[in-house]
Structure 1
């Protein structure tokens, strides 16, 4: 195994350092998921951590080990969310100053949470339109002021701190056979994965990324970290363009499998966990549970842990989450409908094309001067996904010209 694994990571020492600061989060048996997948499924509830994510572990582990001189100068980080809150809490707890750079587009809820956890010990700097812009400014500031930069994942002390999730899993369920973990930059999977493999060599470790940001999957295929050109930032807690160098080496060594899941399916999981288990998860926190369908044959009859990595989900995102879920499940469809130039066409569409279970969720004429016979943007929600072919057949039967926007990504993004 790589020397990073052998010589530098002391997870037990990190656990001792953190045990009076972070919560030992619950490992909860989930009856519904267990019955569905015919195995024993436990959820590692890092959404119940003090800052509602595991990121506190790595941040505190690193900051607590700084020298007195480094502490007097203060620390800097760049983050749009969970890492910022972990650093802010650590600064308050350890009595050092923190300067936290966040993109200007960061939701107000995350800004307020970071300020609350810092409680006067942190200064927030909102700068840049993207995380990369924000990171660049943070590194310049760190150098200019002789401070210590606290990276989000690619640091041995950060990895070591995140690895304490693995320590707790084995403490609570020694005979665990499979652990499924979300992967963004790779800190959690590298840390917890290394500890679990060192102490239970036969365990199966599986990493999960969103389809739109497959940075670890790409790195593993190419043999080294790769900077992705563009990514889908929806699963913001796991959407990075490039994984860490250190985290990649460890993940390559310890992960038995790596897979990606669609963002829409992640949204369905978020809604199910909320409606069925009253668990509020952020998109990255839902990745491990979302992967269960793809792994059902592999996990049958086994003891499985899904790491719920965080619960910082802004309520303002719930409508978007519901929409993405409906689109993924085939329950919501958008069309451009060109109504025939004959009397009663709109009435015919409502009465004869739509079935009793269909619901119009959006309707607007595209040309304001051609109402009643011009093209319209129509959103329809179905009761069952299998009703869709019949809906298309009725449109054709009644001579309505339609463009299926769900099948045309460019038009969909422009109009919907």
Structure 2
């Protein structure tokens, strides 16, 4: 059983390895509430996961340590286990889905762990890890469904209430549920009036479905840019704790997550991975009743693969109406392109690229199509430009 004493003990043990992360006020992200960011993306290894992994491994017996540890992870837990094992002088083998970001795989190797890439998603890596545990006798370090791991994550809750004693609500990303279980248990034990809200990606809403159906459910598949929370099945322990201590769980789309990542970069000069940004997305897009409240968004990790960061930023720009492709049907005669350009220019938008096509067989013989990418201030600005083009006699597809 998870207890408040274990969480306090975990907090004491972790002082030698983790950094207490800052709580930063972020008034520009969600002006309707007093929003703060708990910056676990700046944690050692770039994620909160090191807390639970280190506490669990630190409590192993000498005999268990001799046999080493095995874990499965989409990346962040892997790094936490690898670092914890290295600090304790024991061997670690980590099973990672082959689709995990290369940066997370290489970071895990850099801490000295052996990596086993497994075809599929987290749940496939889990099955492989369990089979290796049976073969070797090593200790399995579960990424979320373990009381010691949950207690380690709960140390974040102790930090939050110390940093913001009058906190009204905390928004936490959910994959398997270990983070919100620890944080929720700690905070609710200290102050039952604090609201604990969970967030999942729409494409991996296993806890949402399980809570709704009042039984643990397994999704057929998961698909989201938030790879750190792409879990098909919640944990047994975490499911029970969430039922008791979590007030509500909402979902956010990949577009909303991308927008939140962009907002954190621009407003707070802070990098968050998809999973970590879900809490901010829930606040930004009014998913929860937090108006006028003191709210903490737990940004759980910052290990985003730089190779996809530009795509995520572009998606965020598109969602915010700041980058758009307009498809305009024109009559193929002189002056048409100039007319479009003058309207766009008069509204202060910037043309990024354009393509003029008169050979599409679906067009009338005297027509052509203009595909033009533009940068705008926001969705309202984009809508003004579209209206101006239509009023100027142009047809937007």
What TM-score range do you get, normalising by the shorter chain? Answer: 0.7 to 0.9
Pairwise CA distance, 1:104: 2.8
Aligned counterpart, 1:28 = 24
CA distance in 2, matches of 1:222, 1:108: 36
Deviations 1:43-93 (A, max 9, x none): 222122111111001111212222222222211122222111101101100
Structure 1: which 5+ runs fail to align? 404-416
- Give aligned pairs, total: 393
Pairwise CA distance, 1:42: 3.1
- 1:309 is aligned, of 300, 306, 318, to 300
Greater Cα shift, 262-271 or 195-204 = 262-271
Aligned counterpart, 2:106 = 112
SS for the counterpart of 1:42 is strand
CA distance in 2, matches of 1:297, 1:103: 36
- 1:123 is aligned, of 90, 96, 114, to 114
Structure 1 residues 395, 32: closer, same or farther in 2, change over 3 A? Answer: closer
Confirm or deny: 8 A CA contact 2:250 2:287 kept in the other structure: no
Pairwise CA distance, 1:310: 1.4
Greater Cα shift, 134-143 or 145-154 = 134-143
Aligned counterpart, 1:37 = 32
Q: Does 1:11 align with 2:3?
A: no
Pairwise CA distance, 1:395: 5.7
CA distance in 2, matches of 1:392, 1:175: 46
SS for the counterpart of 1:307 is strand
Matches within 5 A, 1:4-403: 4-5=1-2, 10-30=6-26, 32=28, 36-39=31-34, 41-116=35-110, 118=111, 120=112, 122-293=113-284, 294=286, 298-300=290-292, 302-334=293-325, 340-342=331-333, 346=337, 349-351=340-342, 356-364=347-355, 378-389=372-383, 391-392=385-386, 403=397
Greater Cα shift, 215-224 or 271-280 = 271-280
Structure 1 residues 134, 363: closer, same or farther in 2, change over 3 A? Answer: farther
Deviations 1:142-196 (A, max 9, x none): 3222222222111222111111111222333333332221212111111111111
Normalized against structure 2, the TM-score is what? 0.86
CA distance in 2, matches of 1:128, 1:314: 19
Confirm or deny: 8 A CA contact 1:354 1:391 kept in the other structure: no
Pairwise CA distance, 1:212: 2.9
CA distance in 2, matches of 1:235, 1:60: 24
SS for the counterpart of 2:203 is coil
Greater Cα shift, 249-258 or 162-171 = 162-171
Pairwise CA distance, 1:105: 3.2
CA distance in 2, matches of 1:306, 1:198: 19
Pairwise CA distance, 1:307: 1.6
Matches within 5 A, 1:401-416: 403=397
CA distance in 1, matches of 2:15, 2:341: 62
Normalized against structure 1, the TM-score is what? 0.82
CA distance in 1, matches of 2:27, 2:373: 36
Aligned counterpart, 1:406 = none
CA distance in 2, matches of 1:12, 1:143: 32
SS for the counterpart of 2:199 is strand
CA distance in 2, matches of 1:396, 1:156: 61
